[in-house]
Amino acid sequence: MLRALQETTADGMVFSHATAAWIWGMWVPRRLGDDLTVHLSMPEGSPARPRRRGVRGHRLSAAAETTRCGGLPVTSPAWTWTDVSTLLVPWGRPEKVPAAVEERALEDLVVAGESLMQTPHGSAGRREPGEHPRCTLEDLAAAAARRRNVRGVRLLRKALPLLRPASGSPAESRIRLRLVAAGFPEPAMNVVLTMADGSWIMPDLVWEGPRICLEYEGDHHRTDAAQFRADIRRVRRLETTGWICVRVSADVWTESGMQALVDDLTGAFRRRGVRI
């Protein structure tokens, strides 16, 4: 569909916003990921924005970065991230936006940014060699610095200090952000730990000092028998090497589930002599 549309668009038009986020494989909230609207941006000075059903036109700033992905003209990963910020912020004056709404938008923007800085290796079979990282933190900061007068600039400024490379999934990013907000020390993500037998394990979140790690296990960890057995072996190896492994399921996305994680993790830190 995008290739067919590309053939009928004017020179200089590029895919942008939520469409570019989809092309780059960014982690965006469902309301953006499920949006079937095609976003096209055209250079300033072009005669008119594209007008057709299912297409939303935007003006492309002279400062915008563009490139190609799979032959498609598209805004760069870093510029796309700044465009996504404009879709996450509700219309209206910033001071009128409810705090809870802004907090969720901020979390969504951080998660989207971290999807562009994933580790190059990733999980087995999930990423193509050389696919990641799409850009660096410096790239994101440079793109944000050029977006001075757009809706979402306040969100960009708040998100930049929270961004971290090496996340392996949106769940890892969200859990890290929520635990730090709850008062826990910031964990490292996907650190390689060497086991007693010389093998290695890379937990999702790691607190190296107290030797505590966290593993997020989605539903496939429960429904896949082989994965379930592998998880048990993995935790056993960690505990044999002196690590406390806190396991988390999809229940963490509920209020009670998050509180249970906070309680479990607080107990783990106390066993290490650390008060939270």
What are the tens digits of pLDDT across the range 205-252? 999 999 999 999 875 555 566 767 777 888 888 988 999 999 999 999
Looking at residue 192, its amino acid is: V
Report the pLDDT averaged over residues 115-134.
69
Structure-token match 């977006």, residue found: 147
Q: pLDDT at residue 124 above 80?
A: no
Residues β-bridged to residue 188: 206
Per-residue pLDDT, 125: 41
Beta-sheet strands, E only, within the chain: 14-15, 38-43, 55-60, 66-69, 72-75, 188-189, 193-194, 200-201, 205-207, 212-216, 244-248
DSSP tag of 37 = P
Model confidence, pTM: 0.89
Q: Could you report the per-residue pLDDT of 50-109, keeping only the tens digit for each?
A: 667 788 888 898 899 999 998 899 999 999 999 999 999 766 566 677 888 889 999 999
Beta-sheet strands, E only, within 70-124: 72-75
Please check whether residue 194 is in contact with residue 200, taking contact to mean a CB–CB distance below 8 angstroms: yes
Structure-token match 């028998």, residue found: 225
Chain centre to alpha carbon of residue 15? 20
Q: pLDDT at residue 6 above 70?
A: no
Q: Could you report the per-residue pLDDT of 157-205, keeping only the tens digit for each?
A: 999 999 999 999 999 999 999 999 999 999 999 999 988 888 889 999 9
The segment(s) of the chain belonging to CATH 3.40.960.10 are 170-271
Per-residue pLDDT, 143: 97
Please state the CATH superfamily assignment of the domain spanning residues 170-271 in this structure. VSR Endonuclease (3.40.960.10)
More confident residue, 36 or 45: 36
